[in-house]
Amino acid sequence: MMTPDGVLLSIQGVTKRFGATAVLEAVSIDIKEREFLTVLGESGSGKTTLLRIIAGFEQPDSGEVWMKGERLDTKPPNRRNVNTVFQHYALFPHLSVFENVAYGLRARNIEKSEVTSRVTAALAQMKIEEFARRRPAQLSGGQQQRVAVARALVNQPSLLLLDEPLSALDANLRRYMQAELKALQREVGITFAFVTHDQEEAMTLSDRIVLLRRGRVEQIDTPRDIYNRPRTSYAASFIGQTNLLAAQIENRRARLGDLEWPCASGQRQALFSLRPEDIRIVADGEPAKTNGVRCRGFVRSRVFTGASELLEVECGTGALLKVRVSGQFGAPDQVTVEVAPERIVPLAE
Amino acid sequence: MYSRTYRNLVAIPPFVWAATFLIVPYAFLFSFSFWQVRSQAIVHEWTLANYRQLIDNPVYLSVLFRSARIAGSVTLLALALGFPLAYFLSFRTKTSKNILYQLVIIPLWVSYLVRAYAWKTILGSDGVLNTLLTYTGILRHPAEFLLYSPLAVTLTLTHIYTPFVFLPIYASLEHIPRELIEASQDLGASAARTFWAVVFPLALPGVLGGATFAFVLSLGDFLAPLLVGGPTGIMISNVVVSLFGAAYNWPLGAAISACMLLLVAALISGTERLELRLRHRDAR
């Protein structure tokens, strides 16, 4: 089998079991060249195992991995043009920062002068030249992280794997490193496959997100599409906040409590996702937007979160909607809400 | 915080221990080494004669060299056995790890004497090895040189001290994060390079510790040469024992002991320094 044009790495029907439990089941993903792909999932979703299969530390039980027309899963890890930034960095404690970064080049018997110049450039790129002679233990977590990235990137791999590299950093440093990783990826033009359990991190960094759930691919899409068009209730509620609406359908109209909207589905019952920020609170006299649907409701609770306020509005029996309003909400307890029907997304399950 | 009195009180037992069993005996030892024996009595007259005799009389130096040679061979043999064993146990076994580990440790619970005697039954002229060799026709007559020789001492001591080499090496191998092995492979290193560039340097403290154990303990051993050494397998401690016993020359025995003590202390501080230097090789 070949890899299609523009695709760097093709994972084809990969299954992996540990004993009786299937960690990955028939996973197929195409990673495009120069993209920033994030594998997102809870712990136990198989995301790290997937990364380890690409790196070569695990063998798939079935399925294949191809890189640019070359079978990858049969090669040992040291013969793959792939490098990894490990979760706990895995820097060699007995070697200086310089020697850590030079390790991969020395392993491939690259000429001494070239090793020096490439390592120096990589250290400069990650802004850690001043630490070249230090040991990893003498560096902070953020600095160690930079060494780990430099050590991998200096080899100019076709694909860089990052296994939750930011999880050990505190919130501020983490946001800073996210921005820097994203910029770095654009600068070096290397494909990044990034594993995380943090949906916000996935949204910020990625060109595309692979959402894994219990070893299966739940959805692969751009952050925008996965947020606006979640395919399943799991995808809808894992990424961002949402209202899951279990609606009855009759005569091409779906109905939940007092809320009613047009729906093409032929089923009698269906599940929908509606983001809290897609619901508007309108003044009584305000004209309706084109095809907007409205209903009356009672505000049951209010949670102030800074930039916005999250309300729970009850619209008839069984319809308790989370509504996000910007700024502070000063309206009375009885309100009218309005929704654009196209923002109500039908879900597969 | 604990009171001053309390802190002083708890310091008393260890201090008394060190004084009674270390400081005072050493003081005696060094004092004796500067005294002399005249007509079967120890005379408290200060002299360097004992130390001069050590240098002048070639017997003592040659026994010391032999002891060092035996201790060195034991160290190398124990490393050659202990390192692969520790490596295999740490990196290549999963389910059987604990059982194998116990198998290595159990001999430590068997009395030293029993283990030394075991070699007597193996190497003796009617021993297991000779019986096998004559039975299979490889030898016509039993080999006499096996027992009561430096070789027998070396074998016995290697058997006894290999677990002492194994343990620290095993401990330092177990402490190597397996992620480092993966990182090395990930960076394109072969298995051999991973071993020499990552595993071995990180196991070095264990190797040095184990080697020091084996060398120091073998150098000062006197039971193995006594039991299986014979006249050609005499080691320095046997000389000391006889000087303190039948020969009744405590001052000379004390002088040899003092030299040994300084030698071993120098050795230990030397390996310590070596380890520190290796650890900071390119940190400077």
* Tens digit of each residue's pLDDT (9 = 90 or more) over A212-265: 999 999 999 999 999 999 999 999 999 988 999 998 888 888 888 888 888 877
Q: What is the ipTM of this complex?
A: 0.85
**What are the residue boundaries of the structural domains of chain A, listed by start?**
7-237, 241-346
Which pLDDT belongs to residue B280?
65
Least confident of A41-45, A276-280, B212-216, B228-232: B228-232
Strand order in the sheet with A159-163: A82-85, A159-163, A191-196, A36-40, A208-213, A216-221
Mean pLDDT of chain A: 90
CB contact under 8 A, B279 and A94: yes
Q: Is B177 on the interface with A (CB under 8 A)?
A: yes
Compute, in degrees rounded to 10, the torsion defined by CA atoms A73, A77, A83, A85.
110
- DSSP letter for A240, please: S
Q: State CA B268 to chain mean position distance.
A: 12
Report the residue from B186, B197, B282 with minimal CB separation from A77: B186
Which pLDDT belongs to residue A161?
96
- Was domain A241-346 assigned CATH 2.40.50.140? yes
Q: Could you give the C-alpha distances from A270 to A248, A265, A290, A317, B8, in angstroms and in order?
A: 7, 8, 24, 17, 79
Report the residue from B179, B185, B282 with minimal CB separation from A99: B282
Optimal mutation site among A52, A94, A149, interface B, most CBs of chain B within 10 A: A94
Identify any residues that bridge with A259 across adjacent strands, giving them in sequence order. Answer: A256
CB contact under 8 A, B283 and A96: yes
Residue A198 corresponds to which amino acid?
A: D
Optimal mutation site among B94, B175, B181, B186, interface A, most CBs of chain A within 10 A: B186
Q: Is A133 on the interface with B (CB under 8 A)?
A: yes
Strand order in the sheet with A253-256: A259-262, A253-256, A243-250, A269-274, A345-346
Cα–Cα dist B257/B238, whole Å? 11
DSSP string, B192-218: HHHIIIIIHHHHHHHHHHHHHHHHHHH
Q: Is B94 on the interface with A (CB under 8 A)?
A: no
Kind and range of the H or E run holding A216 = strand A216-221
Q: Is A56 on the interface with B (CB under 8 A)?
A: yes
The CATH T-level fold of domain A7-237 is Rossmann fold (3.40.50)
Q: Do A208 and A35 touch, CB atoms closer than 8 A?
A: yes
- Report which of B26, B76, B72, B43 is spatially closest to residue B216, judged by C-alpha positions: B72
**Which residues from B are below 8 Å from A77, CB to CB?**
182, 185-186
- Chain B nearest C-alpha distance from A179 (Å): 25
Compute, in degrees rounded to 10, the torsion defined by CA atoms B155, B157, B158, B159.
90
Task: Please count the other Cβ atoms lying within 10 Å of the Cβ belonging to residue B110.
Answer: 11
Cα–Cα dist B186/B181, whole Å? 9
DSSP string, A283-318: -TTSPPPTT-EEEEEEEEEEEE-SSEEEEEEE-STT
**Which residues from A are below 8 Å from B177, CB to CB?**
88, 90
At A296, the pLDDT band (50, 70, 90 cuts) reads: confident
The answer for A148, left when phi > 0, alpha when psi is -120 to 50, beta otherwise, is: alpha
Q: Is A343 on the interface with B (CB under 8 A)?
A: no
Question: pTM of the predicted model, to two decimals?
Answer: 0.83
- Chain A nearest C-alpha distance from B271 (Å): 18
CATH number of B58-275: 1.10.3720.10
CB contact under 8 A, A96 and B282: yes
Which pLDDT belongs to residue B282?
47
Q: Is A103 on the interface with B (CB under 8 A)?
A: yes
Cα–Cα dist A296/A313, whole Å? 9
CB contact under 8 A, B182 and A57: yes
| pLDDT average per 10 residues of sequence, chain B (284 residues) | 84 90 90 84 81 87 90 96 94 86 85 85 80 80 78 91 93 95 95 94 93 92 86 86 85 90 91 80 46
